[in-house]
């Protein structure tokens, strides 16, 4: 009988925690995406509040951290991929880059010399850039495809300086990232 009471108490406390989190100000509360044409009755999307802008992700995606003040977490994960948002300019993913190949012998124990493993280099196609007009501003969606199967997709702007960036390993996920970038909307200043 004591085990049943403990189980009931645990369920009751879990329900209270869930209720508190779903109330206004709770971290699980989400706002549905207000961008026309995004989502469907079978595929709902939620709005992510970022610093000076918003964008939308599928409602099944989970935050990769905690939000604060009036912004949500800056990383979101789901469907086998993820995106992160930030202010300023993204550090990578806007142009082809090549890393210098450095080789030096590694001296092992004893008298043998161990060669370093072969360094692989990525072969990247020229990036594609698609401008998208959004409520008084412009977002540039840049896609960089490397090795034929790795896409880095970045939605970014210089005025204001913001970005949303993700990586995909399939064509379907790359298309999903483009749809996410197309939902970027700038917040109006008070």
Indicate whether this model's pTM tops 0.85.
Answer: no
HSE of 112 in the Cβ direction (CA atoms, 13 Å)? 5
The stretch 38-60 carries a mean pLDDT of 85
174/130 Cα distance (integer angstroms): 14
Q: Residue 97 and residue 175: Cα distance in Å, rounded?
A: 23
Residue 11 has pLDDT above 90, yes or no: no
18-47: pLDDT as tens digits: 333 333 334 444 578 877 666 655 678 999
Q: Residue 176: pLDDT band by 50, 70, 90 thresholds?
A: very high
Report d(CA 22, CA 31) in Å as an integer: 11
Q: Could you tell me the domains of the chain?
A: 8-95+119-186 (3.40.1000)
Rg of the chain over CA atoms, in angstroms? Answer: 22
Q: How much of the chain, in percent, has pLDDT values that exceed 90? A: 44
At 19, which helix (H) or strand (E)?
helix 2-22
Look at residue 169 and give its three-state secondary structure: coil
Query: What are the pLDDT digits (tens) for 133-147?
Result: 987 789 999 999 988
Neighbours of 69 (CB within 10 A): 6
Tell me which H or E stretch contains 180: helix 171-181
Selected residue with higher pLDDT from 189 and 154: 154
Q: Which residue has the tokens 């749809």?
A: 179
Phi, psi of 161 (to 5 degrees): -80, 100
What pLDDT is attached to residue 100? 39
The residues with which 164 forms a beta bridge, in sequence order, are 85, 155
Tokens describing residue 128:
């594609």
């Amino acid at each position: 009988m004591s085990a049943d009471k403990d189980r009931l108490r645990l369920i009751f406390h879990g329900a209270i925690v869930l209720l508190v989190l779903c109330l206004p100000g709770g971290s699980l509360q989400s706002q549905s995406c207000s961008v026309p044409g995004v989502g469907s009755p079978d595929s709902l999307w939620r709005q992510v509040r970022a610093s000076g802008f918003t964008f939308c992700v599928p409602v099944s995606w989970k935050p990769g951290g905690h939000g604060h003040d009036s912004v949500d977490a800056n990383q979101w994960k789901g469907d086998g991929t993820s995106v992160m948002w930030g202010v300023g300019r993204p550090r990578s993913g806007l142009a082809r880059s090549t890393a210098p190949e450095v080789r030096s012998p590694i001296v092992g124990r004893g008298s043998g010399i161990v060669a370093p493993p072969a360094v692989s280099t990525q072969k990247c196609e020229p990036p594609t850039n698609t401008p998208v007009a959004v409520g008084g501003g412009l977002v540039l969606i840049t896609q960089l495809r490397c090795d034929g199967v790795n896409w880095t997709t970045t939605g970014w702007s210089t005025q204001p300086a913001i970005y949303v960036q993700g990586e995909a390993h399939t064509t379907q996920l790359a298309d999903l990232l483009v749809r996410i970038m197309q939902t970027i909307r700038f917040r109006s200043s008070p």
